[in-house]
Structure 1
C-alpha cells in the first residue's frame, strides 16, 4: 500500500497536487461558511471583525487616517465588474490577435463561469448586506458571497497562472502569482473595511474563487495534455 501511494505521488506533479488541495479546501470552506450565512443572527467573529474596522462606539467612522478610506475605495475598484471586464476583454482580444483562440476561450469560460457561479450563490443564500456599520460605498446586491472577492480571485489568479507560463525563472513566476493573490486579498479586505460585506462573505468569495480558478487551470492543463488545446494555452 505504501509503495503504491509513493508511486502515485511520484506520478502526480506538485502543481497539480497543490491545485487539488486548494479546490478541496475551498469547497470545504465554502460549505462551512454557507452555514454561517444561513444563521438567523450574525456569527460573533463577523460582528467583532466588522466593528474592529470602526472607531469604538462610532460605527460610521472607519479606523485609520483620512486617506485610508480613499485608498480602500481605490483598492475595492480593482474587483469591480467594470475593471475586471475591461482587463478580461483586453486579454482575450490580445490572444485573439496573436492567433490563440483556445486560450482566449478558456479565459472567457473561467471568468464568465465565475460570474455565473457567484450570482447563483447570492440568489441561493439570499443574505442581506450588514447593517451593523455604515456603508462607505453604495451597494444594492445581495451579500453572500462577496462578488468582488470571488471574481478578483478568479480573474487575477487565472491571468496570473497564464502569465507565469510565459515567464522564465521560478522567482519571476512566484512573484506574478503572489501579486495576483495579494491583489485578491486586498480587494476582499477593502470590502470589510468599507462595511459592505460581512467577513464571512469575503472568506466565502475567496474560497469559491480560488477553487474555481484552480479547477479551470486543471481543466486547461488536461485539455493541453490531450492536445485538445493546441495553441499553447
Structure 2
C-alpha cells in the first residue's frame, strides 16, 4: 500500500506518505479533547492556565506591561475574519492572474470548508466563553473550538504548504512552514491571554485546523498529479 501511495503522490515526496496518517491522528486528538471538555474533565487545567496569565489579585489585568497586551491584540487580529479574508482573496486573485483558476478554487474550498467546519463544531458543542476574567477584545460566538486558532491554522498552513511545495531546498520549505506554525501559535496564545478562550478551546482549534489543512493539502497534491489542479506557482 505504501508503494502504491508513493507512486500516486510522487517518489521524491515520501514525507507526504507519512503525512497521510497525520490528519487522522489530529482528528482523533480533537475527538478525545472534545469528549473531555464535554465531561468537564479539563475545568481545573483550563482555569489554572487562564488565571496564570492574569495579574495576581486582579484578574481584570493581563499579566505583563501594557505594550504586551497591545501586541497580543495585534497577534489575535492575524486570525480575524477580516485579515484572513484579505489574505485568502489576495492569494486567489494572484493565482487567477497566473492563469491557475483551479488552484485558486482549491484555496477557496479549503478556507471556506474550514469556516463551515468551525461553525458546525461550535454550534454542536456550544461551550460558554470564560467568565473568570473580563474580555480584552470583542467576542460573539461560542467558545469551543477557538475559531481564530482554527482558521489561522487552516489558512496559514494551507498557503505555506502550497508555497513550500514548489521550493526545491528543504531549508526554504522549513522556513516557510515554520513561520506559518509560529503565526498560528501566536494567534492561539493571544486568545487565552486576552481571556476570550479557554486553553483547551485553542488546543482544539489547532488540532482540527491542522487536520483540515493537511487533508486539503493531500487532496490538492493528488489532484495535481492527475492534472485536476494546476501547480500553484510552477
Distance 1:38 1:57 in 2: 30
Deviations 1:86-120 (A, max 9, x none): 00001001100110011100000000000000000
Q: Secondary structure at the match of 1:61?
A: strand
Q: Tell whether the 8 Å contact from 1:62 to 1:69 is kept in structure 2 after alignment.
A: yes
Gap regions ≥5 residues in structure 2: none
After TM superposition, give the deviation of residue 132 of structure 1 in Å. 1.2
Partner of 2:139: 139
Gap regions ≥5 residues in structure 1: none
Partner of 2:159: 159
Q: Runs of 4+ in structure 1 displaced over 4 angstroms?
A: 7-13
TM-score (structure 1 length as normaliser): 0.92
After TM superposition, give the deviation of residue 218 of structure 1 in Å. 0.6
Alpha-carbon distance change, 18 to 189 in structure 1, aligned in 2, over 3 angstroms: farther
Partner of 1:94: 94
Alpha-carbon distance change, 59 to 10 in structure 1, aligned in 2, over 3 angstroms: same
After TM superposition, give the deviation of residue 8 of structure 1 in Å. 7.4
Partner of 1:72: 72
Q: Tell whether the 8 Å contact from 2:160 to 2:177 is kept in structure 1 after alignment.
A: yes
Count residues in correspondence.
228
Partner of 2:221: 221
Q: Give the RMSD, CA atoms, in angstroms.
A: 1.9
Distance 2:5 2:158 in 1: 25
Q: Which range moves more in the overlay, 119-128 or 33-42?
A: 33-42
Spell out the pairing of 1:22-61 with structure 2 (5 A cutoff).
22-40=22-40, 43-61=43-61
Q: Tell whether the 8 Å contact from 1:84 to 1:155 is kept in structure 2 after alignment.
A: yes
Q: Tell whether the 8 Å contact from 1:53 to 1:63 is kept in structure 2 after alignment.
A: yes
Distance 2:160 2:151 in 1: 14
Deviations 1:180-199 (A, max 9, x none): 00000000000000000000
Distance 2:169 2:16 in 1: 19
TM-score (structure 2 length as normaliser): 0.91
